[in-house]
Structure 1
Amino acid sequence: MNNHKFVVRKAAVLGAGVMGAQIAAHLINANIETLLFELPAEKGDPNDNVIKAIENLKKQDPAPLSVPARAASIQPANYEQNLELLKDCDIVIEAIAERMDLKRALYEKIAPYLAEHAIFASNTSGLSINKLAQAFPENLRHRFCGIHFFNPPRYMHLAELIACTESDAAMLNDLEAFLVTCLGKGVIRAKDTPNFIANRIGVFSMLATMHHAREYGLGFDVVDALTGPLIGRPKSATFRTADVVGLDILAHVIETMRDTLANDPWHKYYAVPGWLQGLIETGALGQKTKRGVYRKAGKEIHVLDLARKEYVLSAGVADDDMKELLRQKNPAGKLGALRANPHPQAQFLWAIFRDLFHYCAVHLNAIADNARDLDFAMRWGFGWNEGPFETWQAAGWSDITGWINEDIAAGKSMSDVSLPDWVREMGQSASQAADRDIQGVHRTQGSYSPSANSFRHRSTLPVYRRQLFPDKLLGEQAQYGTTLFETDAVRMWHIPGKSGSAGTADDGVAILSFKSKMHTIGSDVLDGVQQALDEAERNWRALVIWQTEPPFSAGANLQKATERLKSGEPPSALTVLAKKLRKTAQSAVLKAARSLNLADALMAGKLAEVEAMVAQFQQTSQDLRYSMIPTVAAVDGLALGGGCEFVMHCDRTVATLESYIGLVETGVGLIPAGGGCKELALRAAQETIDGDPFPLLKNYFQSVATAQLAKSGEQAKELGYLRRADQIVMNRFELLYVAKANAIALAEAGYRPPLKARSIPVAGSTGIATIKGMLVNMREGNFISEHDYLIGSKLAHVMCGGELTPGSLVDENWFLELERAAFIELLATEKTQARVEHTLKTGKPLRN
């Protein structure tokens, strides 16, 4: 028995192509020392090929690296000079071209240099792991397996883990734990069948969509309008997804299915369409060649018109009746209405759902252990809101089964193969009392496995104990602990259980979750935070702020104040915010405006209520900092404006890598006023080496003045929104566990709040003058407007501590008063009012 702890100190990736380089980037994101191998260059530095690939990582969007500077930590290597370096690697991931002969040749070359304990994994997207294993030395085969990352590896949650016959079970468990915690992945154990689970189902879904699009005469852009968010799938839908993946890659996967699945009932559809082959032959491979099904012409998007054999302006849309039908919340009514509606778009949608359900049911036993694995594979690997079986079950298992059988008998389905017997059995109500009304494959006792003819529970590997609330399947209701108190705005609760690790009642940690839309912060939330702090100080050891779903917080929401200013319901503060989470700072401006919802207050000309709320916000931030119990912010997704200020004032922050944090108020003519300016000035003073806070303060000023939004938790550290001691978690489902562990550690250390800062050196008048000089140059060069200059000047005045002699000592309240005054002064200007009103009305920032 092997009792050694599995530790990955160093990793290597073989192949610096699109996937290999991005896998290396994500390993570096996880602080794993990484080698990236490629063929040696024919001229110059032998590592030029891999160096070029590493440099290219810094230019890609979405960014593979958490911060561009991490590219320098990837060590370039080539197969001729550097194979000895493999001896120090604990895991080696092969990611070269999808050709069996090339992979086998590489295995023979590198095998002598692998450490005996090293795991070797192929990132193949569909080749047989057992056939690949035959090219590996027999004595190392127990360390061999497949890991299939999805593109882009940083963002896609899924990693399929595929064993060969000789793969060691303990090794696979160790590897799964590494993938889950260190790389943040959702791991699915796939069977060794062509294209595994997600690509097998996903590519069939694309082929079915292509088939029915032709049958019903729908253009590519119309199909994408129908098969994106309207049916719970990504905006890239079908053909845009093909362009992103690469048309050559898609064709290769289809050909793999054609060559390896000769007995499949749908085999005749495993063929590359002529139009697709034609695009590939002309070098139109999709996004990477800037031309595929779509191409960009200036600011316009053009789409291939098959009838005209040329690109035309993309203008395809879903029919208004289809949009209305698909907005139905009742899944059963929705699919039933599609089947009954004679409109070609409705018949098309019913057909792609029907054939997808049919295909999944027939192949589930061969490709996956259970229905849960198939559904999660599609959600995590293709970004679907629901897996196929979840959709089927939600729409009524027996009704859908009957309709599929009718269409098979009528010759309407793509295959005439019968549904498996177990499908009919799943239409029978469950025998257990808790499940007596449930039909389908997902029940309280687990998800159905045809091979075992039983319901499988989730994995019991120790790593999953860290996921206090894992991703939910259809019908699963998370039980978020025991309520301590609850209002319309917040809920304070704890997790009961035995004493021991994080997540139990005896750990003494209370949790606070917001209930407002997008977790915006209004007076009611501020009241709730202060009540929670009072309760925690009386009866608990620590307080964690964690939301049951992202985002952490979209910022301040002055809706309550506006309700006091006029009768009637003010407009929704966040109607489009969720659609723009990963955009640039310009879209962050829009988010700030929508979350503030100030228009009514401004037009009424009454600012006293707003000032009172700002003061309450500042006091709440200070209470988070100086509470007698440790406070920990657990951040996932967006933390804007006031949400960012809460994060900055907690004793510790634990953030997922995919946290987007920033103070973005300047874009709508305001400045941060919940303690954010004060906090950055304080950090600049505390972090300075020579006593002059201005060099650091200037950088912080630039981030706030340009409304810069951190694109990762790591970048939030660079911008000063997070501290170096704050922790980054790779797996969002482990966030609460780690946050609680941090809270416990602070409490166990005999926590005392920091002493209040009473002697903060300011940059003063000299700092203000220096920043204003930069602003003047920008204004005269027409880079900023006169009002931008005013906003920047007010921000400089606050962050530099006012017109004081440089080095003068002030306390925190000094900065808070400057913040509050500047915020209200800007709020009173016509141009700031116009910016807020314009942005709320048009969804676009105003330059005035």
Structure 2
Amino acid sequence: MSQFNVRKVAVLGAGVMGAQIAAHLVNVKVPVVLFDLPAKEGDKNGIVRKAIDNLKKLKPAPLAVASDAELIEVANYDDDMKLLKGCDLIIEAIAERMDWKSDLYHKIAPFVNKNAILASNTSGLSITELSEALPEALRPRFCGIHFFNPPRYMCLVELIPTPTTQPDVLDKLESFVTTALGKGVVRAKDTPNFVANRIGTVGLLATMKEAEKFGLNFDVVDDLTGKRLGRASSGTFRTGDVVGLDTMAHVIKTLQDKLTPAADSFYDSFATPPVLAKLLELKNLGQKTGAGFYKKVGRDILRFDLASGDYVPAGAKGDEVYGRMLKRKAGERLKLLRDAEGPQGQFLWAILRDGFHYAAVHLADIAETARDVDQAMRWGFGMKQGPFELWQQAGWLDVAKMVQEDIDAGKALSKQPLPDWVFKGPVADAGGVHTEQGSWNPTSGQFEPRRQLPVYQRQLFPELLLGEGGPRFETAGKTLAETDAIRIWTLDDEVVIATLKTKMHIISPAAGEGLMQALDIAESGYQGLVVWPGEDPFSVGADLETMLKGFVAGGSDFVDSLEKELQDGIQRMRYAQVPVVAAIRGMALGGGCELAVHCARRVAIMESYIGLVEVGVGLVPGAGGLTYIARRAAENAANSTDKDLLHFLTEGFTAAAMAKVGTSALESRQLGYLQWSDVIVPNKDELLYVAISQAKALAQSGYRPPMKRLFPVAGRDGKATIQGQLVNMRDGGFISQHDFHIASLIAGVVTGGDVNPGTLVSEDYLLTLERRAFTSLLAHPKTQERMLGMLSTGKPVRN
């Protein structure tokens, strides 16, 4: 396969999806030009400019950094078609109208360069039918590309070929979407709603139908079908509000229009639910209109009641007995739900049974293998497990018999029996559809491995399905040392990897000792050390519970010694004789952030959330975070014609004092927690590969640790300036008295305390100030309230 070099992408259509696809391209630094119709009045690119302005207001934010909206090039179909010639990928994302898309294809065809790929972002229209509007020469380079909304955050992208699409085109596009955009790719067959929306929409309709049958309200259903069931926390109806009820209605209508009872025996269940029809009539389309299945009035959440046609109080929860059932092992769980006498248990079994039934009956129609279905539901619908994974985990033949018994008894949504391959042959013998050899393809009658594109060599430990063969990071490579807190290992005998095993990867005393052992091993003859979490998060910080218990048992002196040990360890990482690379995914908070910023380099996935958040538990950063802020301010000032240290210190101080967290790797770079030399990786599964490569590159370029040196601080004048601003915030009611006290301590450390402006200090001096501030706060009753509140509820206490 030749390399697909994407110099620029054109996105056609500045609607909700088109604009957000363009935004994500900007996030990953792919140049993009966004097209739409020329405005009838004023600026001819006014439609596109308005869409780009709207990107800055949307939540969740499509742009990792709002100001990057200016990087999206604007264009219209009248004046700018020549720009298409410089684009290697063209993504059409206009409204779901076959005639409109066909008309646009006729218009753009003469301007598509001879090597460019053209793809339609559609959620369900026939890709083959769309291709018929294209000239013969372009059809081999045309396919479907279905992003899920919102494109920045949703992992799934479905690629849909036509009979004339060149296989090499699919391979090139899959490679680009995977590594450059950071997505998980599923190849779908050209059938209505493809894979995820086909399974997901039928699941939604089944859920609504079964909820009506068992007399359950939206709020109860959402409580039962959210995290308790291993699905998106928003549940069923709340998810509909977020997606948009008009969008939901569209994908339902696609099933209604494109399928028949002969093609799909579940067709009778595809009718638009009465409650959805009523909400559409009222133009209550969900979150975008302020009302849908739910409506927020002040602080109250209301749910729509079809009988009265009005909104009534919401907030009901599922019966806890079913919550306990859902915590049981898979096989026991399903049997308990099936035998339950209450309507909530019967409902839960019914929707799971319906999901198993539909996925098995239509697997051959919509996807190549069972892997595609399970990955699509994980990545597109936020499920912890796809339907086949859960079925297999619960006992393949036992569940199959229960499902078939319900079908025979007329309890299922269709009378169609499960396929023969479910009960006999390789799947039955293997106990499921996912095996070490691959996943089941009912068309070929074989277990097929994953595609072996070169891009997947960068994924050392890809996300695996239950039962699927492949390397697991917990046991891969060669273990160099291991405790309950950490595994120290290597894949290639060149770079050491340290993976914390503590809950949320907290830096407990044992984890800290393990990191020092990892460094000892790395310095004994390896090229570098990579601190990689294996899975989210990177680290949520130091062990607060141990700190609090230590204070109770040994007082301030004991805590000071613990904190000194943590500081010394992190400083040792900074001055190690081999490069230490922090591989960040998910949250790097508090001590996790302090560990990361003191490494020689950071490699972070786009969705990394980095910050010093100790204020939330009534503390100050105490493991070197404030020292880092002061030192970086001095370094930045030294490299600027502006020598006023306070100008360079303000943002770092504010971020720490307000516990500000970068909501993306790009924003974390703006806050100073990532440097311009650090690497941002779009795909989480490529993180370790890139981090190891960075460690080797640093080592092979003659890496030497930084030399310790003195640096200037802002001193008492800088502290006084900051203190004046804090007084205004306190007196204005923006911060509490305890917040004021904590922020004042932070100001004292980052400015160097009671010294003259410009005084040269060492890191050790500032680290001592940090420890004093930290231990003094630990003795404060209000800080103890905050810490106990966080430990008991996981939420910050404001006092």
- The alignment's TM-score, normalised by the length of structure 1, stands at 0.91
Q: Match of 1:492, SS?
A: strand
Q: Distance in 2 between matches of 1:221 and 1:538?
A: 58
* Inter-CA distance 188–72: structure 2 relative to 1 (3 Å threshold): same
Aligned length: 790
Deviates more, 1:193-202 or 1:346-355: 346-355
Q: What displacement does 1:669 show?
A: 2.2
Match of 2:654 among 702, 709, 729: 702
Structure 2 unmatched ranges of 5 or more: none
Which residue of 2 is the match for residue 63 of structure 1? 61
Matched, 1:145 2:143: yes
1:768 aligns with 2:719: yes
- SS for the counterpart of 1:833 is helix
Amino acid at match of 2:722: I
Residue identity matched to 1:489: A
Aligned partners of 1:421, 1:830: CA distance in 2, in Å?
67
Deviation of 1:533 (Å): 0.6
- Other-structure match for 1:584: none
> Residues 466-517 of structure 1, C-alpha deviation per residue, up to 9 Å, x if partnerless?
000000111346142211001121110011xxxxxxxxx15x0110000110
Cα offset for 1:71?
Answer: 0.8
Give the alignment partner of residue 661 of structure 1, picking from 606, 610, 627.
610
Q: In the aligned structure 2, how far is the partner of 1:440 from the partner of 1:519?
A: 33
Residue 384 of structure 1: aligned partner: 383
The residue that corresponds to 2:351 in the other structure is: 352
Mapped contact 1:558–1:610 kept (Cα < 8 A): no
Q: Kindly tell me: are residues 785 and 316 of structure 1, through their superposed partners in 2, closer, same or farther at Cα, counting changes over 3 Å?
A: closer
State the distance in 2 between where 1:174 and 1:847 align. Answer: 52
Please tell me whether residue 488 in structure 1 is matched to residue 499 in structure 2.
Answer: no
**What are the within-5 Å matches in structure 2 for residues 766-805 of structure 1?**
766-805=717-756
Aligned equivalent of 2:699: 747
Within 5 A, what are the aligned runs for 1:166-565?
Answer: 166-262=164-260, 263=262, 264-328=264-328, 330-425=329-424, 430=429, 438-476=430-468, 478=472, 479-495=475-491, 505-506=492-493, 508-560=494-546
Residue 634 of structure 1 aligns to a residue whose secondary structure is strand
How many Å separate the matches in 2 of 1:207 and 1:530? 54
CA distance in 2, matches of 1:839, 1:754: 37
Q: Give the one of 548, 560, 563 matched to 1:611.
A: 560
Q: Secondary structure at the match of 1:13?
A: strand
Deviates more, 1:468-477 or 1:199-208: 468-477
Please give the secondary structure, in 2, of the residue aligned with 1:396. helix
Offset at residue 781 of structure 1 (A) = 1.8
Out of 679, 693, 710, the residue aligned to residue 628 of structure 2 is 679
- Name the structure 2 match of 1:571: none
Structure 2 distance, partners of 1:793, 1:43, is 54
CA distance in 1, matches of 2:119, 2:646: 50
Please list the CA deviations of residues 652-706 of structure 1 after superposition, one character each: whole Å capped at 9, or x if unmatched. Answer: 0000001011001123221101111111111111111133322111111011110
> Which residue number in structure 2 is paired with residue 111 of structure 1?
109
1:630 counterpart letter in structure 2: P
* SS across alignment from 1:395: helix
Given that 2:538 and 2:587 are in contact with CA atoms closer than 8 Å, whether structure 1 keeps it comes out as yes
- Aligned with residue 712 of structure 1, among 664, 685, 701: 664
The aligned amino acid for 1:548 is G
Q: Partners of 2:793 and 2:133 in 1: how far apart? A: 61
Deviation at 1:122, TM superposition (A): 0.3
For 1:660, the aligned partner's letter is Y
Q: Give, as a single letter, the amino acid of the residue that structure 2 aligns with 1:71.
A: A
2-structure distance, mates of 1:447, 1:618: 48
Provide the C-alpha distance between the structure 2 equivalents of 1:407 and 1:823, rounded to a whole number of angstroms. 62
Aligned-pair CA distance for 1:530: 0.8
- Please give the root-mean-square deviation of Cα atoms over the aligned residues, in Å: 1.5
8 Å CA contact retained: 1:91, 1:118? yes
Superposed CA offset, 1:115-149 (max 9, x none): 11111100000111100000111111111111100
- CA gap of 1:270–1:740, structure 2 versus 1, over 3 A, is same
CA–CA distance in 1 between the matches of 2:190 and 2:798? 57
Maintained 8 Å contact 1:509/1:542 = yes
CA distance in 2, matches of 1:795, 1:682: 14
The separation in 2 between residues aligned to 1:627 and 1:511, in whole angstroms, is 15
Query: Secondary structure at 2:215's aligned position in 1?
Result: coil
Which residue matches 2:757?
Answer: 806
8 Å Cα contact 1:13/1:92 also seen in 2? yes
Residues in 1 aligned to 2:407 and 2:795: alpha-carbon distance in whole angstroms = 50
Residues 606 and 666, structure 2, Cα contact 8 Å, conserved in 1: yes
Work out the CA distance in 2 between the residues paired with 1:40 and 1:298. Answer: 40
Please list, as runs of the form range in 1=range in 2, the aligned pairs for 1:808-847 lying within 5 A after superposition: 808-841=759-792, 843-847=794-798
The answer to whether the Cα contact below 8 Å between 2:542 and 2:590 also exists between their aligned partners in 1 is: yes
**Alignment partner of 1:609: what SS?**
helix
C-alpha separation in 2, matches of 1:744 and 1:845: 40
Cα distance between partner residues in 2 of 1:230 and 1:455:
31
Note if contact 1:602-1:833 (Cα within 8 Å) is conserved in structure 2.
no
SS of residue paired to 2:661? coil
Contact 2:8–2:87 (CA<8 Å) still a contact in 1? yes
- Cα distance, 1:839 vs structure 2: 4.2
1:768-791: CA deviation from partner (whole Å, max 9, x where unpaired): 111011112212222223322221
2:663 is matched by which residue type in structure 1? K
**Partner deviation per Cα, 1:378-420 (whole Å, 9 max, x = no partner):** 0001000100000111111111111111111111111111211
Contact 2:388 2:433 in 1 (8 A): yes
Does the Cα contact within 8 Å between 2:427 and 2:440 map onto a contact in 1? no
Counterpart CA distance in 1 for 2:557 and 2:226 is: 46
Other-structure match for 1:136:
134
Aligned equivalents of 2:45, 2:327: Cα separation in 1: 54
Query: Aligned pair 1:736/2:732, yes or no?
Result: no
3-state DSSP class of the match of 1:472?
coil
Question: 8 Å contact 1:25–1:64 — kept in the other structure?
Answer: yes
2:39 maps to what in 1? 41
Q: 1:698 to 1:428 in 2, by over 3 A?
A: closer
Question: Can you give the 5+ residue segments of structure 1 that lack an aligned partner in the other structure?
Answer: 431-437, 496-504, 562-597
Q: Is the 2:614–2:621 contact (alpha carbons within 8 Å) kept by the matching residues of 1? A: yes
1:363, 1:842 → 2: CA distance? 44
Classify the secondary structure of the residue corresponding to 1:132.
Answer: helix
Provide the residue aligned with 2:89 in structure 1. 91
Q: Is the 8 A contact 2:427 2:433 kept in 1?
A: no
Aligned to 2:589: 640
Letter in 1 for 2:490: H
Do the aligned residues in 2 keep the contact of 1:247 with 1:292 (CA within 8 Å)? yes
Hey, what's the Cα distance between the residues in 2 that align with 1:841 and 1:378?
A: 33
Following superposition, the deviation at residue 834 of structure 1 comes to 3.3
Separation (CA, whole Å) in 2 of partners of 1:612 and 1:751: 32
Q: In 2, Cα distance between the equivalents of 1:777 and 1:245?
A: 42
The 8 Å contact of residues 426 and 441 in structure 1, kept in 2 or not, is answered as: no
Residue identity in the other structure for 1:463? V
- The aligned amino acid for 1:772 is Q
Rounded Cα–Cα distance in structure 2 between residues aligned with 1:847 and 1:439: 52
Please report how far the alpha carbon of residue 202 of structure 1 lies from its aligned counterpart in structure 2 after TM superposition: 0.2
Q: Distance in 1 between matches of 2:583 and 2:435?
A: 31
User: What do the CA deviations read for 1:3-59 (whole angstroms, capped 9, x no partner)?
Assistant: 5x3111111111111111110000000101111112222222122221111111111
Quick one: structure 1 residues 443 and 843, their matched pair in 2 at CA, closer, same or farther if it must change by over 3 Å?
Answer: closer
Quick one: distance in 2 between partners of 1:246 and 1:211?
19
Q: Equivalents in 1 of 2:785, 2:404: separation in Å? A: 60
